[in-house]
Amino acid sequence: MQTSFRYEMDVTHVRNSWKTSINRQNSSRRNMKLLLKGLHDQIHQLEDGGNAVPMATVARHHRLGRLTEILDDVIDILKTLRRAIKSSETNSDSVVWGNIANMAAEISQGSSQLLDASNKLPNPSETDGHAIEQSLIDIHTAIEDILKQLRSLTEEGRRCTDNQLREMFGNPRLHPRTVDALQRKLPERYIRDIPDAMREPMIGEDNGL
């Protein structure tokens, strides 16, 4: 009973963690796309105007506080995923968990690079247009890379829950309450491949009680 309960908690924890992470990824991706568009527009203005940098526009798009908030969201997502992976990794050979862990590490590295680039962004009042342009391009590239990685991570996670749910948990025999919880909280496609033979009978069930 304790083992089944632990698996039930693991399944629920991962389901909730992943759903929260996906929602926050989508929110962070929208925020990053807005920032990316602003930087993209600014780069075009710099290209059109040469070194005649419109200082008000540059200042508007290099709010480090806003960029830091977005990066904090990304880092929180990674921490949530790592906690879910650590608490539910019962099969050390799981390819899925390995892929997700590797992606999380890559995004973490990309986030650090983006923070580094943002910290080096020059003050518009103290430098020329070329230095600002190069800094914006560096940030633009870093954000694009993180967006691609977040998209891949989302897709990998969805494939994981669709096709390899039982692999995640070492193919346990599931208690009926666990299956009921999965059916209530997860879409049918997540649990459709779990055969009846995997369900553990409750005490007295075999005797018709």
* Six token digits for residue 58: 């540059």
Q: In this structure, what CATH number is given to the domain that contains residue 193?
A: 1.20.120
Residue 65 is assigned to a structural domain of this protein: yes
- Please tell me the total count of domains within the chain: 1
Residue 77 is assigned to a structural domain of this protein: yes
Tell me the CA distances in angstroms from 98 to 9, 28, 51, 171, one per residue in order: 22, 24, 47, 17
* Six token digits for residue 22: 């996906």
Residue 209 is assigned to a structural domain of this protein: no
Residue 207 is assigned to a structural domain of this protein: no
Instruction: Please list the residues that pair with 174 across neighbouring strands.
Output: 199
Residue 15 is assigned to a structural domain of this protein: yes
Residue 208 is assigned to a structural domain of this protein: no
pLDDT in tens, the chain (209 residues): 444 444 444 556 656 665 666 666 666 556 555 555 555 555 455 444 444 444 444 444 444 445 555 555 555 555 555 555 555 444 444 555 566 666 666 766 776 676 666 666 655 555 555 666 666 667 667 766 766 666 666 555 555 443 443 444 333 444 445 444 444 444 444 334 434 433 334 334 344 43
Residue 206 is assigned to a structural domain of this protein: no
Q: Do residues 88 and 160 touch, judged by C-beta distance below 8 A? A: no
Q: Which domain holds residue 57?
A: 2-198
Size of the chain in residues: 209
Query: Phi/psi class of residue 195: alpha, beta or left (left: φ > 0; alpha: ψ in -120 to 50)?
Result: beta
Look up the pTM and report it: 0.41
